[in-house]
């Protein structure tokens, strides 16, 4: 099993960047989820669960550690005023160094996204991950291919609803088997990861994205039906180091 792709998402819920090599730090991939956009009035961090249009902007980490955000119209967002104008609300971009509370929202029932069904949750400290137990996420092309084939058996929808980009994993593997890593340490490149959990999926994976990725709730229905709601695995960093596309992955001993 090898690394097929590496993805970094400098701003939470924005499109990320496909990279060849990256340092994995104790917080995850260097620069990943380093920034997030917050609603000034409510105090909540914005995600594509609540604000799907976030997925139509993209972020690139700059050499100086800052971030360049390109809006759907192709223009660069120079400041919070530009982001606020785009989103139609007062927002501010915060870095992971900001110590203010990290609270987000999720719909309790993805089939019925009413205002009453949304609930708050607290995100991780440091980089803007949803969980401190999943600072690096891994998913394989084999797992996605199997799910796409299962859905196609009884679906009348157009093909192409299962692009890997829906699931925003950091490390894409070239063959299935990531679920077998749970409870074990893995070696990839110079890094070591403790894979502690399967990742529970939410309405985020149903959201539309650029390049003709349409809204599709059947994606999440299939994940619940075939995989009890879990897709991809989450890990914490046991040993920092650089990983690159093409690096082999091996499972080591179990960890406590």
Q: Where are the domains of the chain?
A: 3-254
CA 166 to chain centre: 8
At residue 156, the pLDDT reads 43
> Percentage of residues in the chain with pLDDT exceeding 90?
70
Angle at 52 (CA atoms; ends 47, 53), nearest 5 degrees: 110
At residue 67, the pLDDT reads 96
Q: Going by C-beta distance under 8 Å and a sequence separation of 6 or more, which residues neighbour residue 20?
A: 6, 244, 245
Strand partners, 112: none
At residue 158, the pLDDT reads 46
What is the pLDDT averaged over residues 202-224?
91
pLDDT for residue 155 is more than 80: no
Query: Band of the pLDDT at 105, cuts 50, 70, 90?
Result: confident
- The rounded distance, in Å, linking the Cα atoms of 50 and 42 is 13
Q: What is the mean pLDDT of the chain?
A: 90
Query: Band of the pLDDT at 227, cuts 50, 70, 90?
Result: very high
What is the pLDDT averaged over residues 196-200?
96
At residue 255, the pLDDT reads 74
Rg (CA), the chain: 18
- In this structure, which topology does domain 3-254 adopt according to CATH? M1 Pyruvate Kinase; Domain 3 (2.40.33)
At residue 152, the pLDDT reads 65
- The rounded distance, in Å, linking the Cα atoms of 104 and 54 is 14
Which pTM value belongs to this model?
0.90
What is the pLDDT averaged over residues 180-203?
95
Residue corresponding to tokens 């971030």: 67
């Amino acid at each position: 099993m090898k690394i097929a792709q590496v993805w970094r998402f400098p701003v939470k819920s924005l499109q990320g960047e496909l990279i060849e090599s990256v340092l994995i730090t104790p917080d995850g991939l260097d620069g990943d989820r380093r920034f997030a956009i917050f609603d000034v009035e409510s105090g909540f961090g914005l995600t594509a669960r609540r604000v799907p249009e976030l997925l139509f902007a993209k972020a690139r980490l700059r050499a100086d550690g800052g971030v360049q955000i390109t809006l759907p119209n192709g223009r660069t967002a120079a400041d919070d005023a530009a982001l606020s104008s785009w989103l139609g609300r007062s927002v501010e971009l915060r870095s992971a160094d900001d110590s203010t509370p990290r609270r987000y929202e999720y719909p309790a029932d993805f089939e019925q996204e009413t205002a009453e069904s949304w609930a708050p949750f607290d995100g991780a400290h440091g980089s803007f991950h949803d969980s401190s137990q999943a600072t690096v996420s891994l998913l394989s092309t084999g797992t996605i291919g199997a799910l796409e084939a299962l859905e196609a058996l009884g679906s009348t929808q157009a093909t192409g609803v299962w692009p890997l980009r829906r699931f925003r994993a950091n490390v894409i593997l070239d063959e299935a088997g990531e679920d077998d890593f749970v409870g074990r340490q893995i070696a990839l490149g110079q890094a070591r990861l403790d894979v502690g959990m399967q990742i529970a999926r939410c309405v985020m994976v149903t959201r539309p994205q650029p390049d003709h990725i349409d809204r599709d709730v059947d994606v999440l229905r299939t994940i619940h039906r075939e995989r009890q709601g879990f897709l991809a695995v989450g890990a914490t960093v046991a040993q920092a180091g650089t990983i690159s596309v093409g690096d082999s992955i091996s499972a080591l001993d179990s960890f406590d």
